[in-house]
Amino acid sequence: MKFEKLLMVLPLAMLLLSSCSKEEVAKLDINNELKYSENQVHRTLSEIKGQDKMPRNIMDSLVHWNLVNIEISEWTAGFWPGTLWYNYENTQSTDDLAAATHYTELLKPLTTLPAYDHDLGFQLFYSYGNGYRLTGREDYKQIVLNAADTLATLFNPKVGTILSWPREVDNGRFAPFNTIMDNMINLEMLYWAAKNGGNKELYDIATKHAETTMKYQFREDGGNYHVAIYDPLTGEFIKGQTHQGYSDSSLWARGQAWAIYGYTFVYRETKDERFLRFAEKVADLYLARLPRGEFVPYWDFDAPDIPNAPRDASSAAIVASGLLELSQLENDKVKGEVYKNAAENMLIELSSDKYQSRQSKPSLLLHSTGHYPNGSEIDASINYADYYYIEALTRYKKVMSGISIQRNNK
């Protein structure tokens, strides 16, 4: 390696190595954690049997899932079916296949509606998309192709992004045209559709959205604004704001997690090195700002009450999963190792008695924060933390076996 290059990655590598003395002895027993996940998933299945609703969260003081109705406004509706698909991928049991199929197909009413917002990918790609990946069912494939076309109806070519919320949110604070960082994740369904028989323009829409977001929705240091406001007629970027973070200029942990995960697969799909360098930039900022020696962030890196602020385990799970993919895509071996080790440390910490729910409740993880400024889902088990945790565990097993985790290359 060139000396200059070594100097560039050394601080990050040193930071990660020096901060993991306890992790040097701890190891991730991946089969044990997957078995744990299977047991918890089965506990949830027993608890919610016959209700045909989705488990959404368990607040810190409670022990049973809060179930939600399946409706287009429920952005998390796809995470439980997605968790069941990963569990089936790991167990290969016919009962687990039946459970994943059942909860996926409960989403059927959502598959023919016009776009309510950008969350269609979370809802339908993680349910039907994972279902297609594991079963090859043609009817599931068609549902995802249709969902991608529906999502694309929200694209504004003048702005170059998808409109995330085509309705009033927070008393119109995000008018006249908003794009939120979470929207990056839903681009994966567009890329998938473009190469699986869908409209080829979906690739261009996804890439344009990623480019525009990269240009306007980040600060110089690589930190993101949760919401970008644009003029829908001229395409002009007006300002960056927060919705779920501490302030407009703070670093909301899950927003940065979405960016790391999103730009990683944008690079996977485009092979455009600008996106690889950008995924590194947003990941390096996140890693550098983690509390020293710890791998689960506070809900916002700039929360004023740190170290007493709540954590967000969901961000750690999303980032662990994203970094595992980034480590495989890296063309710089040293950086690839840094990302793999960081992901491993995140999974070790998430798999500790501090973060796993274990006997206390049927979720996989504790201590996520949904919407702090709204006072909702603070220090809770949340379905998307569990989804990305089981995805990351599944990816980790593949990485350690030298198997490619790139999910969409069907």
Provide the binding-site residues for ligand GLY, judged by CB under 6 A. 182, 244, 254, 370
In the complex, the smallest distance separating the C-beta of residue 223 from ligand GLY, rounded to whole angstroms, is 16
Residue 141, classed as helix, strand or coil, is: helix
Nearer to ligand GLY, 230 or 252 (CB): 252
- Judge whether 188 and 137 are in contact, CB under 8 Å: no
Amino acid identity of residue 84, one-letter, is L
Nearer to ligand GLY, 131 or 370 (CB): 370
Nearer to ligand GLY, 74 or 182 (CB): 182
- Judge whether 387 and 79 are in contact, CB under 8 Å: yes
In the complex, the smallest distance separating the C-beta of residue 254 from ligand GLY, rounded to whole angstroms, is 5
- Judge whether 86 and 130 are in contact, CB under 8 Å: yes
In the complex, the smallest distance separating the C-beta of residue 244 from ligand GLY, rounded to whole angstroms, is 6
DSSP-assigned letter for residue 129: I
Tell me the torsion sign for CA atoms 382, 103, 84, 51: positive
Active site residue ranges: 119, 182
401 CB-near residues (< 8 Å, 6+ apart): none
In the complex, the smallest distance separating the C-beta of residue 134 from ligand GLY, rounded to whole angstroms, is 25
Nearer to ligand GLY, 192 or 252 (CB): 252
Distance CA 351, CA 328 (A): 22
Amino acid identity of residue 17, one-letter, is L
62 CB-near residues (< 8 Å, 6+ apart): 361
In the complex, the smallest distance separating the C-beta of residue 389 from ligand GLY, rounded to whole angstroms, is 15
334 CB-near residues (< 8 Å, 6+ apart): 1, 6, 9, 13
Nearer to ligand GLY, 99 or 366 (CB): 366
Distance CA 370, CA 376 (A): 6
Nearer to ligand GLY, 57 or 101 (CB): 57
Describe the chain by its helix, strand, coil percentages, rounded to 5.
55, 10, 35
In the complex, the smallest distance separating the C-beta of residue 318 from ligand GLY, rounded to whole angstroms, is 9
